[in-house]
Amino acid sequence: MASDELPVRPAGSAVKAVVEGPNSLAVAFGRELSMASRSVHADDYINNHQAVAPPMHVSTTFRYNRDPEQLRPWDNLNPNAPYDSHVYSRDSAPNTTRFEAILTSLLGAPSLSYASGLAAFHAMIVFLNPKRVAIGGGYHGCHGILHIMKRLNGLEQLELEDDADLAKLEKGDVIHVETPLNPTGEARDLAYYRKMADEKGCYLTVDATFAPPPLMEPFKYNVDIVMHSATKYFGGHSDMLAGVLAIRPDRAEKWLPELREERLHLGGVMGSLEGWLGVRSARTLELRVKRQSESAQKLVDFLAEKKAAGDNSNIIAQSVFKIQHASQQPEAKDENSWLRKQMPNGFGPVFSLWLESEEKAKRLPSKLQLFHHATSLGGVESLIEWRAMTDPKVDRRLLRVSIGVEGWEDLRDDLVQGLERLKEEGF
């Protein structure tokens, strides 16, 4: 690993907080609390003020202990706030520490925050330092980072669904699985890729951005690192950039300090305002995601039913060429399938619509009232994107749909009226 080239500092109070603190609730109750309770209280152990709402700290630097005998390099312990002690915000800061505490509890593994999802992915690849990465379609930004790494060190990018490419994998390489997949919302079998990784001696990393808690628990499949673009569902309000890496617990004692050391040097730490926003958003994660996922399922079911009725019977059948979502995969109908086991609480709030023509796909967003035509996903607002706006390689008939917290019936009617307006205009 590239981290072997850097001296790793002793695990200080900030690392201790990430590893030990979120477990304090389970210790107090003798059992793990619900996700809803942990979203609100997983960072309570950090409290050192009477304010119920966590304060926002914008300082980049923090005073050392006035007692010279208590000075320890990079371990600036404040005895009045042992879990909220810091040196410099590129290493740790109050708001991001709180956010990491909640992420650690919700993801079920020690977690580190980053400035964006791509910053997290970049940090992960630098840390694991593979010679080869097997990756499928998915988010084009991750492919962009791998292209940069190829230019820097010759890293080879392999196709995840190509047997000839997979045969090239060797020990220490990375199998990177994005599930559900961007932009289609379709899922991949983590148990299958875990078995492959074990056979080849590879690391298995998972981008689970499209299936945050409570929809999926990747660590049940012994993945090595789980990443999220926390900008999406952990942020949830279209107003912050962040990324997260969660480390398999049995690897965390060694990997977590090394990743923090590399983050210090790479500089991909999230800002204090974003950390504060992340804590605010995490409080309602389960409420939002359940609502969004349930609404998306109802909408997909409606669209699929109308499409199946026949070519000329309704505006959906006349306009929609294909619907893609994990719930539309064959395994979704089998209660014992890998898909139902992997995603028992819903199939995610993102799906794709393929319209009959590029012109229809390009024009539909401008006819909608509730859906914003914008990139990204995961916010309380429903978004629709003519995906060709940000991904030049995607089919130009494809629309990516991210469901927010509005009433699903209103979203249904908005799509129908938008398609009707297109028809009236001759499209």
Nearest to 382 by CA among 355, 401, 361, 410: 401
Q: What's the pLDDT tens digit per position in 235-274?
A: 999 999 999 999 999 999 999 999 999 999 999 999 999 9
Specify the long-range contacts of residues 217-220, CB closer than 8 Å, at least 24 apart.
Answer: 217/108, 218/190, 219/107, 219/108, 219/109, 219/246, 219/248, 219/249
Residues 85-123: tens digit of each pLDDT: 999 999 999 999 999 999 999 999 999 999 999 999 999
Instruction: Name the residue among 160, 223, 215 with its Cα closest to residue 191.
Output: 223
Residue located via tokens 């290493």: 91
Q: Provide the CA 209 distance to its chain's centre, in angstroms.
A: 3
Model pLDDT for residues 77-87, shown as the tens digit of each residue: 888 888 999 99
Task: Look at residues 229, 224, 194, 222 and name the one whose alpha carbon lies nearest to residue 208.
Answer: 229
User: Is the distance from CB of 5 to CB of 260 less than 8 angstroms?
Assistant: no
**pTM of this prediction?**
0.94
Residue by residue, DSSP assigns 51-78 as: -SSPPP---SB-PPPS-GGG--TT----
- Nearest-angstrom CA–CA distance, 206 and 138: 12
Q: Is the pLDDT of residue 15 over 70?
A: no
Band of residue 3 on the pLDDT scale cut at 50, 70, 90: very low
Q: Which CATH architecture has domain 286-424?
A: Alpha-Beta Complex (3.90)
> φ, ψ for residue 328 (rounded to 5)?
-95, -5
State how far Cα 238 lies from the chain centre.
Answer: 14
Q: Which CATH architecture has domain 2-283?
A: 3-Layer(aba) Sandwich (3.40)
Cα–Cα distances in Å, from 177 out to 142, 173, 180, 210, 422? 11, 13, 9, 12, 37
Domain segments of the chain as ranges: 2-283, 286-424
> In sequence order, what E strands does 279-364 have?
320-324, 350-355
CA distance 170 to 164: 13
Q: For 350-364, how does the pLDDT look when each residue is reduced to its tens digit (9 = 90+)?
A: 999 999 999 999 999
The phi, psi pair for 247, rounded to 5°, reads -105, 135
Average pLDDT over residues 167-188: 97
